[in-house]
């Protein structure tokens, strides 16, 4: 197996990418990096500091003041997103951030900033990273690539349940509109649009459980390890 085995999981919003990535990371002992959390944290910073993200100069200046890192929470057994030393793991999940993150993530300067940091993180250890362009842009030579999808109705229901726990006033219509908007922006942005890499394996989890999708991914990993060992003559 390569020194740094990299698994990428791309796909549409609310397809369960982070759920699968966290499951795999625990099973395999890999580092999990939530690339979406990084874009959400940048969006949060822009909103808090009234950054006009249509202004390239303002964006570049703002990015100089942003420091992002993940810190593992032993109690919760998960990595959490820190923005300039502040734990923002839960704040960045608010609908206010969700409504703007696709716009911010589409900015070329923001993507360059985030991709560079993601690539640095992936070089340090066996890594699982999920997002929109991880297998196509961040790690085009990843050892295993998975592309996730699910019916929009299922995705809306999943996202609504998640949002309702934090904000009982949110409506399912708001959630559906937000997902459709994010799908469009993610798929049509000029830089690194959401698309399935040619060598990514499709995983449609509309009608399967989280345990079933984990088994599917683990089998893919085992097959890939065998393939790499055979290729290296072991």
What is the domain partition of the chain in residue ranges?
6-226
Residue 206 CA to residue 149 CA, distance in Å, equals 8
Percent of the chain at pLDDT > 70 equals: 98
Q: Which contiguous run of DSSP H or E holds residue 220?
A: helix 210-231
Contacts (Cβ under 8 Å, ≥6 apart) of 14 = 150, 155, 156, 158, 159, 162, 179
Digit-coded pLDDT (tens) for 86-105: 999 999 998 899 889 989 99
pTM of the model: 0.84
Contacts (Cβ under 8 Å, ≥6 apart) of 120 = none
CATH C-level class of 6-226 = alpha beta
Tokens describing residue 70: 């993940």
Residue 129 CA to residue 54 CA, distance in Å, equals 28
Digit-coded pLDDT (tens) for 125-143: 899 999 999 999 999 999 9
Digit-coded pLDDT (tens) for 179-211: 999 899 889 988 889 999 999 999 999 999 999
| pLDDT exceeds cutoff 70 at 69 | yes
Digit-coded pLDDT (tens) for 29-42: 898 999 999 999 99
């Amino acid at each position: 197996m390569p020194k740094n085995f990299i698994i990428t999981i791309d796909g549409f919003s609310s397809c369960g990418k982070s759920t699968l990535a966290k499951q795999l990371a625990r099973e395999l002992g890999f580092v999990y990096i939530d690339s979406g959390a990084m874009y959400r944290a940048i969006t949060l910073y822009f909103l808090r500091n009234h950054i006009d993200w249509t202004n390239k100069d303002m964006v570049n200046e703002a990015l100089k003041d942003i420091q992002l890192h993940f810190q593992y929470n032993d109690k919760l057994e998960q990595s959490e997103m820190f923005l300039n030393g502040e734990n923002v793991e839960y704040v960045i999940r608010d609908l206010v951030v969700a409504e703007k993150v696709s716009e911010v993530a589409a900015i070329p300067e923001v993507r360059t900033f985030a991709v560079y940091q993601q690539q640095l993180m992936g070089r340090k250890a066996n890594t699982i990273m999920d997002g929109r362009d991880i297998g196509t842009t961040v790690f085009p030579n990843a050892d295993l690539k998975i592309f996730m999808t699910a019916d929009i109705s299922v995705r809306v229901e999943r996202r609504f349940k998640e949002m309702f726990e934090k904000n009982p006033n949110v409506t399912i219509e708001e959630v559906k509109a937000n997902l459709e908007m994010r799908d469009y922006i993610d798929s049509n942005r000029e830089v690194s649009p959401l698309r399935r890499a040619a060598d990514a394996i499709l995983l449609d989890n509309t009608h399967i459980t989280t345990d079933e999708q984990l088994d599917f991914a683990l089998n893919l990993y085992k097959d890939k390890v065998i393939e790499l060992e055979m290729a290296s003559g072991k």
